[in-house]
Every structure is written in structure tokens, then in C-alpha cells.
Structure 1
Amino acid sequence: MRRDTRSGLLDAAQIRLAEHGYAGTSIRDLAADVGIKESSVYKHFRSKQALLEGVLERAEERVAATAQALGVSVDDPDAAASTYATIDLGHLTAVAEGFLQMWLHDEEFVALRRLLTLEQYRTPAAGTLLRQLVVTQPLAFQSQIFARLIDAGAFRPANPEATALAFWGPVLAILTLAGEQRAEAEARRLLGIHLEHFRATHVTDAATQGEES
């Protein structure tokens, strides 16, 4: 029952935060939505910010599940590097488009992303979580992956952080284009161009020949 109540509070928080914002959402209202006493909320979450963080954690679980379905990892840099060391352009494109699909069409993820985007200037906690979701975590993880790929000779020598920026910066711009202008077809076209260019720039000839053989 504890797990069901916790999930119910996360569901209620996601809905209310999206509709009323962080400041307009109260613990009392969330408790009423779930049918429990206000004091009972604190058995599951110590504060409203903890609830917001819980919503983010659940979104990250959806990202991990999406990655698993696409045959990649977003939480184990060694496993991810092993996959990307031998991935061909077709599979890489399928992975990128799978994440684009989630970014644009997964209702739970979209709701959280929009909430954090709207709240980032009014609520410091929301701004921190948004940067964590779309900037700091991806860059840190990708830096670890590229460091391993460079050490293994699959990528040309370079600064791993700079390589991560070269990869994620355009991806983030493309995601913004697709989300704000609803230009999904154009976003997919640009994503393909970016992936092909990035591979041509950073993947070594030996790694490319290994894929073709």
C-alpha cells in the first residue's frame, strides 16, 4: 500500500504542478487528491521539493527504460561505450530518433519537461532540476563514454568534455526546435545530418572499417 500511495502522490503532483505550477501546488491539495491526511504525505516525501524531485526521478526511469528498449544504456558508461564502439549509423539514428520520440510524445516526460521549463524562472528548484535533466547529467555521462571510446581508439584523440559538447549541443538545439515549433520532420532531418557529421569527425577510420567488415 505504501508504494501505491507514493505512486499516487507522484501522479497527483505531476498533474497539479503542470496545471498550477510549483507555488500553486500545496501538500494539502495533494493529500486530498490521493485521499490521505496531509501529515501522511510526509511519510513518503519530506517536502514539496522532494515530490518534484520524485517526479523527475520517475522521468529518468522512463528514459532508462526507453534506452534499454533501444539497446543502449544511460546509467553505465562502460556498457554504453561498448555499445557505441561498434554501433553503425543506422542503429545510432534509430536510438536518437527513439529518444526524440520520447521527448516529443511521451505524455509523462513532456508534462515534466514543460513544467520545469515554465517554472525555472520562478522556482530555483525547478531550474536546477531542468538543468540537471537536459544539461549537466547528459554532458557528464557522455564525457565518460567518449573518454572510454577515445582511450580504446574508437574515437580520434580529443578532450572528452569538448566531444560531449560537440555532440549534445546540436542535439539540444534540435530538441528545442522540435518541441517549440513542432517541426518534427525538420528535427529528424537535422538530427540525421548531425549524427553523420559527428561520426565522420570523431570516429576513427579503423572503427568505421570494423563496422563495414
Structure 2
Amino acid sequence: MKRNTKEEILMESLRLFAYSGYSGVTMRDIAEKVGIRQSSLYKHFTGKQEIFDSIVERMDAEYKAKLDKIKLVHDDSDKRAEQYIKKTLSSMADIGEALFQYWTQDEYASLFRKMLIVEQYHNSDLAAIYDKYFLSGVVDFQAMIISHLIEKGFFKQGNPRLLAIEFYGPFYLMIAAYDTEKDNASFKELMREHVKSFGKSHAVFVEE
């Protein structure tokens, strides 16, 4: 099979960024990891910034593909709210489990997450990306969905943003704890129980 050098550069760069931070990695480090001359890197990328931009671009594409695979709309809150309404708590738990496994067990997504954790305090651009994927970006989007559910009478009255934090908080905690927690298998059941408990507490009609 023909060697895909460009793909190797992206993956090895991501591994290095995840454990040493973006600023702690040089083009020489990347070349050594891939097993090519440093000059050969420039046949594929103009520099470290372009490598990083390509990593982010691929992450965006893969994440959207993942959402498509589990049949979730990513960029339309009306359609997303309609999907939530139609799904049972059990199927919503399946979706939560799938996204948890994606961010913790998919190699590319997991390394990307770790890279952002390492660099968020040193690079404002990376901090913004981390915020988009794991903090206010998620909470804002969930709050929009919950607001629609409340307006349509499927959720009890409440503050959509607070409810979004209540819903997403345990997910974020379990994703953050996954890398150091020994009993990772227990997260699967905890997540499913959380989704069902949240639904029973706030949904007007609950179907398991």
C-alpha cells in the first residue's frame, strides 16, 4: 500500500501536540516522528500553523460526520429540537453514549481533545476552539434546543441555560475524568442513568 505521508504528518503532529502542546513542538520534531527529512515536510505543508489548521479542519469534518452517523442535526436548532422530541429517553441515552465514546475512544477525537486541554491556557485561539467544542458552544446549543422544547410544551418551564448546564455538566465531568479514572466502564451506565433521570425530571411526557 502506498504511503500517505500527508496523513502521517497530521496524525503524528496531533500526537505530539496532544502531549507536548502546540508551542512545544517544532517542525523538526514532527519530521523525526514521521521519519522524513524536515525539508520534506514543506512539500506538504508551509509550516506548523498550516498543519494545525488542517488538523482542526479535519476535526470539524469528522465531528459533523459523526453527528450525521447518529442522525443528529448539528446546525439547525429547530430540526434538532424536533429530533429530541421524537426520540425516547433510551435512544437519547444511546446518543449520549455514542458521543462520549467518540471523544474518549476515537483516537483522532481523543488526541484533539487532549491537545486543546494542554494548550487552552497558552493560546487564545485554541482556548476558543476548546470553548466551542466542550464549554459554552455546547451549553449555548443545548440551551437553544431546550428553549424550543419548553416553547412547544414538551419540557416544563425553566431557565434553558441552567437546564443545559444541568444536562451537559455530568457529560463534561465524565469526559474529563475518563483519562485518569480506572473504572471507565462505569461511565457508560452512569451516563445512561443521567439522561433518563434528566428526562423524567424535566420532560412533560416521558417514554423510556
Scaled by the length of structure 2, what TM-score is found?
0.80
Of stretches 192-201 and 177-186 in structure 1, the one that deviates more from structure 2 is 177-186
2:200 alignment partner in structure 1: 200
Alignment of 1:98-177 (within 5 A): 98-177=98-177
1:41 aligns with 2:24: no
Partner residue, 1:86: 86
SS in 2 for 1:157: coil
Contact 2:67 2:74 in 1 (8 A): yes
C-alpha deviations, 1:161-206, integer Å up to 9, x for none?
111111111211122233321432211121122111110111113x
How many residue pairs match? The answer is: 200
- Return the offset for 1:54: 3.9
Q: Mind listing any 5+ residue stretches in structure 1 that lack a counterpart? A: none
Bigger proportion of residues as helix:
1
AA partner of residue 194 (structure 1): H
1: distance between equivalents of 2:142 and 2:15?
32
Letter in structure 2 aligned against 1:74: H
SS at match of 1:155: coil
Match of 1:204, SS state, is coil
Give CA deviations for 1:86-116 in whole Å, capped at 9, x if unaligned: 1102211111111111122100011111122
Q: Sequence identity, in percent? A: 24
Q: Is residue 12–residue 33 contact of structure 1 (8 Å, CA) maintained in 2? A: no
The CA distance in 1 between the partners of 2:6 and 2:195, in whole Å, is 40
Moved over 4 A (4+): 4-9, 27-34
Q: Distance in 2 between matches of 1:174 and 1:18?
A: 19
What is the alpha-carbon distance in structure 2 between the residues aligned to residue 77 and residue 28 of structure 1?
Answer: 44
Report whether the alignment pairs 1:183 with 2:188.
Answer: no
Render the CA deviation track for 1:22-56: whole Å, top value 9, x for unaligned: 12223566685682538x734xx7x72x6435423
Measured on the aligned residues, the alpha-carbon RMSD in Å equals: 2.8
Q: Deviations over 1:50-91 (max 9, x none)?
A: 643542342232222222111212222122111101110221
Residues in 1 aligned to 2:84 and 2:122: alpha-carbon distance in whole angstroms: 39
Task: Give the TM-score taking structure 1 as reference length.
Answer: 0.78
Contact 2:167 2:198 in 1 (8 A): yes
2:94·2:192 contact (CA, 8 Å) conserved in 1?
no
Would you say the 8 A contact 1:156–1:204 is kept in 2? Answer: yes
Provide closer, same or farther for how the CA distance between residues 158 and 130 of structure 1 changes in structure 2, counting only shifts above 3 A.
same
SS state at 1:41 partner: coil
